[in-house]
Amino acid sequence: MIFHNPSGAPELACEQCGCRWFDRMHGTCYECGSQVPAEAIAEFDRALQAFWAKNAGQEGSAAVPGAKPPADA
């Protein structure tokens, strides 16, 4: 499932436990270990790119706190 944080950026969340921490290397949830479907990741990528495209059109608002997902460890 996809959430949107207060700044409008999409966040991918686990279908099973609702947490937002994923092991992107393995495509699994950190919290409950459930597999993240490829469609969910693809959908999230589209939402993220739409968000970036929207923000790119607004001058002076390049830096949105919290908009970036945590870096891969």
Name the site residues for Zn ion (rule: CB under 5 A).
14, 16-17, 19, 29, 31-32
**Closest distance between Zn ion and the C-beta of residue 26, in Å?**
13
Identity of the residue, 16 or 55, whose beta carbon is nearer to Zn ion in the bound complex: 16
What region, left, alpha or beta, does residue 37 occupy, with left being phi > 0 and alpha being psi -120 to 50 degrees?
beta
**Closest distance between Zn ion and the C-beta of residue 27, in Å?**
12
46 phi/psi in degrees, rounded to 5: -65, -45
**Closest distance between Zn ion and the C-beta of residue 18, in Å?**
7
**8 A C-beta contact, residue 1 and residue 40:** yes
Identity of the residue, 32 or 50, whose beta carbon is nearer to Zn ion in the bound complex: 32
Terminal Cα distance for the chain, rounded: 23
Identity of the residue, 17 or 41, whose beta carbon is nearer to Zn ion in the bound complex: 17
